[in-house]
Amino acid sequence: MSISGSSWLKFGLFTVGLGQSFVFVLVPPLARDLGLSVIQTSSIFAISAVAWALTSAYWGRASDKYGRRNIAILGLLGYGISLIALITPLFLAERNMLNIGLLFPALVLGRLINGLVGSATRPASFAYVADTTPKEKRTLKFARLESSFLLGTVIGPLAGGFLFLITNETPFYVFSFCALIAAIGIYRELEPSNKTIKTSKSLNKIRWNSGTIFPFLVFASILSLCQASLLQSIGFYITDFFGYLENLPTLISMTFGLLAISTIFSQYVFTDAFPLSNFFLLLFGSISLVFSYFTMAFFQTLSIYYLSIIVLGFGFGMIRPALASSLSLAQSPENQGSAAGYLGSVIPIGHMTTPFIAMPIYSINPSYLYYFSSILCICLILFIIFNPLIRKTKTYE
C-alpha cells in the first residue's frame, strides 16, 4: 500500500521537528566543552533565526512560481545538509582535525543553511494544503501539519538521546537520512497542485503590509513573543519557585512534555471532535492563554503550575492552526504561498526579541513576565473581537 503525498508532507515536517528540537539539546553542551562561550553558542541559533525570518516569505512566493512540491523538497534537502554541516565541525574539532578558531564560523555556516534553505519546507507545505483542501476542512488539515512538526520536536530528544549512545554524530546522520527519505517520498507521491507558473505581476500583488496579511502577522508576532518568553524562561521559573525540590531537570522535562502532548491532543482530537469556526478557536485559545499565564504568575504551587501548562498547550493547539487557516482563507488562490511564507517569517520573532523584552522583565520579578504575557493575550482577545478581518473568519467556513 503506497503512502499518500500529503502523508509524506507530514513526515517531512516531522523530520524537521526531530532535528529542530534535538540540536538545542546536544549542540550547546558540545560547543561549550570545546571552548565556545554561551554568547557564541546562542548566536549560532540567533543568526539562523534571523535568516529564517528573512527568507521564509521568499520561499512562499517561490512556491507560487516553481511549485509547492519542488520548494518543499528543496527545504528538506537544505535541512538535511544543515544537520551534517552542523555536526561535522564538532566532529572534527573533537579529534583535533579542525582549528578551534574556525569552529564558531563553521557552526554558524552549518546552522545558517537551515535558516536560509530549510525554511522553505513549511510555507510550501501549508500552501499545498491550502491548494488541495476545501475551506471547511482547512483548519483540521493545518492542525495535522502543525501536530506532525510538534510530534517530531517531542520525539527528537528521546530518539536522539538513544542514538547518541552509539556516537555523538549518529542522531544527526539518521535525522538527515530521514529528511532525504521524506524528500524522495514527496517527489514520487505528491501531485503538483499548481501546474501553471504564475506571472510576475500576480506574484507581486500581495505584500506583508497588505490588508489581508498584516493583521495576522501582528497576531502571530505577539503570540510568538508569548510562547518564546515561556520556553526561554521556564527553566529559571522552576528553579526560582521550586528549587527546594529534587530532580529539577526532570520537572523541566515534564513541563515541555506536558506542553507538547496537550498541544498535540488539542490539534488532533479537539479540533476534530469540536469543529468550531476559526474565530472561536482563536478566541477560546487566547482566553486559555490568559488563564494559564495569570495562574502561573499568581499561584506558585507545582500542581497549579502543571495545570497551567496543560491549559496553555490546549490554547496553542487551538490558535496556531486556526491562525494559519484564517490567513489562508483570506487570500486568493494565487497568493497562498506568499501568505504562508509571510506567516513563517514571523515565527522566529519571539525568540529574537525575548532576550531584549521578556527576560529583562523576568529579572525584575518572575511573576511580572507572566502578568505581561497575560496582558498581551488580553490584547489578542480584543484584537480578535474588534478587527473586522479576523472577525470575518466566522463566515469564511
User: Is the CB of residue 90 less than 8 Å from the CB of residue 30?
Assistant: yes
DSSP alpha helix (H) spans, 299-330? 302-329
Give pLDDT tens digits for 270-328. Answer: 777 777 888 899 999 999 999 999 999 988 888 899 999 999 999 998 998 888 888 88
Cell of 28: 550547546
Instruction: Report the C-alpha gap between 325 and 328 in whole angstroms.
Output: 5
In a domain, 117, yes or no: yes
Sign for the CA dihedral angle at 16, 21, 26, 28 comes to positive
161 pLDDT tier (thresholds 50, 70, 90): confident
Domain boundary among 191, 222, 247: 191
Query: Between 31 and 367, where is the model more confident?
Result: 367
19 and 132 share one domain: yes
pLDDT of the residue at 180: 96
174 and 248 share one domain: no
226 and 118 share one domain: no
Work out the percent of the chain whose per-residue pLDDT is above 70: 94
What average pLDDT score do residues 190-216 get?
A: 67
User: Is the CB of residue 93 less than 8 Å from the CB of residue 100?
Assistant: yes
For 263, the domain range is 214-396
Backbone angles phi, psi at 165, to 5 degrees: -65, -25
What is the CATH number for 301?
1.20.1250.20
127 and 180 share one domain: yes
Burial environment of residue 56 by CB neighbours within 10 A (0 to 12, 13 to 18, 19 or more): buried
pLDDT greater than 70 at residue 201: no
Per-range mean pLDDT, top range of 43-57, 92-106, 172-186, 339-353: 172-186
Give pLDDT tens digits for 76-95. Answer: 999 999 999 999 999 999 88
pLDDT of the residue at 203: 46
Domain count, the chain: 2
27 and 104 share one domain: yes
Sign for the CA dihedral angle at 264, 266, 271, 274 comes to positive
Which distant-in-sequence residues (6+ apart) come within 8 Å of 216 by Cβ? 323, 326, 327, 330, 343, 389, 390
DSSP 190: P
pLDDT greater than 70 at residue 202: no
Give pLDDT tens digits for 324-365. Answer: 888 888 888 778 888 888 888 888 888 788 878 888 898 899
pLDDT of the residue at 98: 87
177 and 251 share one domain: no
Burial environment of residue 168 by CB neighbours within 10 A (0 to 12, 13 to 18, 19 or more): middle
What average pLDDT score do residues 234-250 get?
A: 80
What average pLDDT score do residues 366-370 get?
A: 92
354 and 231 share one domain: yes
What average pLDDT score do residues 360-389 get?
A: 92
Cα separation values, 346 from 31, 156, 214, 226, 243, Å: 28, 24, 11, 13, 34
The position carrying cell 507558473 is: 197
pLDDT of the residue at 195: 46
pLDDT greater than 60 at residue 196: no
pLDDT greater than 80 at residue 393: no
Burial 125-143 (b: 16+ CB within 10 A, else e): bbbbbbbbbeeeebbbbbb
Instruction: Report the C-alpha gap between 151 and 17 in whole angstroms.
Output: 7
In a domain, 196, yes or no: no
29 and 161 share one domain: yes
pLDDT of the residue at 309: 92
In a domain, 208, yes or no: no
Diameter over CA atoms, the chain: 63
User: Is the CB of residue 263 less than 8 Å from the CB of residue 313?
Assistant: yes
Sign for the CA dihedral angle at 104, 109, 111, 115 comes to positive
352 and 252 share one domain: yes
In a domain, 198, yes or no: no
147 pLDDT tier (thresholds 50, 70, 90): confident
What average pLDDT score do residues 51-55 get?
A: 89
